[in-house]
Structure 1
Amino acid sequence: MAAAGLRALLRRVRYEVLPVRTTEEKVLAHVPRDVVVTVTASPVKGLEPTLDLVGRLAAHGYRTVPHVPARLLRDDLHLKEVVDRLREAGVDDVFVPAGDADPPAGPYDGSLPVLRRLSELGGPFARVGVTGYPESHPLIHDDVTVQAMWDKREHATYIVSNLCFDPRVLEEWLVRIRRRDVTLPVHVGVAGPVQRAKLLAMATKTGVGESVRFLTRHPSWFARFAAPGGYAPEKLLTRTRNALTDPASGVAGLHLFTFNQIAETERWRRALLDRLEG
């Protein structure tokens, strides 16, 4: 049963990509139209590259999810402009993290005020995602991150968990948030089969996506991820598959951090599906 459940999760994946020049071409070449594509946003480059790529991928028939960090929004008018632009492109799903811009571009220093404002605007998106942290956030206490998910429950429809490389920590986090009556479905964040050299090169750049910056703030995890033989996504999934497929965990699917190794991620997913089915 666990293997069947894992197969189902691998069919309900989201691919997180970075909005750079080659991303559209890579997605078109390698990502099936039934895979959701989420597009990060950078405090260095702002929202424009994200909105532009989301619009182009949506026009190609992909279900796209833009990251709209609260700290990149200049004011209520800017938020309204972003909403109108996304709705015009047919987007019905957004992911709203706090973001890393320091100082914030406007009055929003966290995601909750943005979520409340979206509700005041009539709930323009059918799905709204927020962040969960199985591993400790470098700046925020664990109890605060769990409380934040509770506070956002009336405005959000799902949680995307950030990177986690420890099966025990991931399992305990799923149990913990359910005990705190956080009932939103979770898309579990998993790093894809990223080449070490590629990851190291990307991590030296600034503003290339929240996923890379999160790794650089956790040097011990980064070392484990980058070490030869130190990480393989199928190992994490195999060791946690009972928790991931337990109905009580409320896991809706997998959120794969591709670090723009899109072809490699899709090949890995298809190969793992084939092995599980065989």
Structure 2
Amino acid sequence: MSARPTPYPERPAQAPVTGGGLAELLRRVRYEVLPAKATEDKVLAHVPAEVPVTVTASPAKGIGPTLDLATRLAGHGYRVVPHIPARQIADAGHLSDIVDRLVAAGIEDVFVPAGDADPPAGAYDAALPVLRRLGELGSPFAHVGITGYPESHPLIADEVAVRAMSDKQPHATYIVSNLCFDPATLRQWLGQVRRRRIVLPVHVGVAGPVERAKLLSMATKIGVGESAKFLTRHPSWFLRFAAPGGYSPDRLLRRAAPVLGAPESAVAGLHLFTFNQIAETERWRRAMLERTGG
């Protein structure tokens, strides 16, 4: 495979959207992918070099495949954002090794969730201690993302989740929200976050044009990881995918556009969960850009 000739351009990736509406949001996307065997080829074939790619990590496979894919994609010129789940890190030495490898690959952006490993692999059972340790290591990454939950997390109370974001804010530069299918819920959550004086820009998590049969097939092959496990924990969400006409990213974004574009929301862009339907997601984005005049 040949390397991408054009590196990711230098620009303030976390700046909030200040105009341009839905078209601007569709230009400011990040694609979340899973480290499966064919993922690298799919990204190279279908994802423009200017679109950041985030790489998940599953408890079943461990963090190794995430680091492998992230460093290879960085070598192709992509801006890559590997997930570093706290509960998959064995100890401080393991974290230092991860940091050294990513820094050597030129990776400047990481996403630090707690993760779903149960029990934890080592001493870290939440994201905050890992974020603090990164600070002790000299803050090696220019951008550090943390998780937000517009729709209730099955294991964390809403107020606890928002308070945790407040605690992590000094160690992070942006928030990535988990999936939300309801514009009213999204508006309420963004308001709650800002009222708590959490000022980090938000990348709003949106499911791409997911086909139910492909999603089920993928989950069966790779095990249910961070990007798909929510379907088993949120059966009502799964029904939105399964019901004919039950979910449309177009409809969700058009209805949510006013709150996403509001200055007080400080939305930096969209975080698209591709579920490895990468070609389909990019075709959908380009088509919607054309329809919105972007």
Q: Same fold (TM over 0.5)?
A: yes
The partner residue of 1:101 within 117, 120, 140 is 117
Corresponding residue number in structure 2 for 1:228: 244
Q: Which residue, out of 232, 256, 259, partners 1:243? A: 259
Q: In the alignment, what sits opposite 1:121?
A: 137
For structure 2, which runs of at least 5 residues remain unmatched after alignment? 1-16
Segments of structure 1 that go 5 or more residues without pairing to the other structure are none
Residue 146 of structure 2 aligns to a residue whose secondary structure is strand
* Distance apart, 1:166 and its partner CA: 1.2
The question of whether the paired residues in 2 share the 8 Å contact of 1:15 and 1:37 is answered with yes
The one-letter code of the counterpart of 1:24 is E
Aligned mates of 1:66, 1:184 — CA distance in 2: 19
Match of residue 19 from structure 1 = 35
| Preserved contact between residue 96 and residue 129 of structure 1 (Cα < 8 Å) | yes
Contact 1:163 1:211 in 2 (8 A): no
Aligned-residue offset at 1:224: 1.4
Q: Deviations over 1:124-177 (max 9, x none)?
A: 000000000000000010000000000001000000000111111111111111
8 A Cα contact 1:15 1:258, kept in partner: yes
**Residue 220 of structure 1: how far off its partner (Å):** 1.1
Deviates more, 1:255-264 or 1:218-227: 218-227
Shift in Å at residue 215 of structure 1? Answer: 1.8
Question: 1:38-53 counterparts in 2 under 5 A?
Answer: 38-53=54-69
- Cα distance in 2 for partners of 1:145, 1:137 equals 8
Q: Provide the C-alpha distance between the structure 1 equivalents of 2:174 and 2:252, rounded to a whole number of angstroms.
A: 22
Normalising by structure 2, we get a TM-score of 0.92
**Alpha-carbon distance between aligned partners in 1 of 2:40 and 2:255, rounded to the nearest angstrom:** 33
Aligned position for 1:253: 269
Whether the aligned pair in 1 keeps the contact of 2:210 and 2:241 (CA below 8 Å) is no
Q: How many residue pairs were aligned?
A: 278
User: Are 1:7 and 2:27 counterparts?
Assistant: no
1:201 corresponds to 2:209: no
Q: Tell me the CA shift for residue 200 of structure 1.
A: 2.3
Shift of 1:214: 1.2
Query: 1:11-45: per-residue Cα shift (whole Å, max 9, x none)?
Result: 11000000010000000000000000000001011
Identity %: 72
Partners of 2:108 and 2:141 within 8 A in 1: yes
Which of structure 1's runs of 4+ aligned residues deviate more than 6 A?
none
- Taking the aligned partners of 1:202 and 1:247, their CA distance within structure 2 comes to 38
Distance 1:220 1:240 in 2: 20
For structure 1, which segment, 201-210 or 91-100, has the greater mean C-alpha deviation from structure 2 after superposition?
201-210
- Displacement, 1:207? 4.0
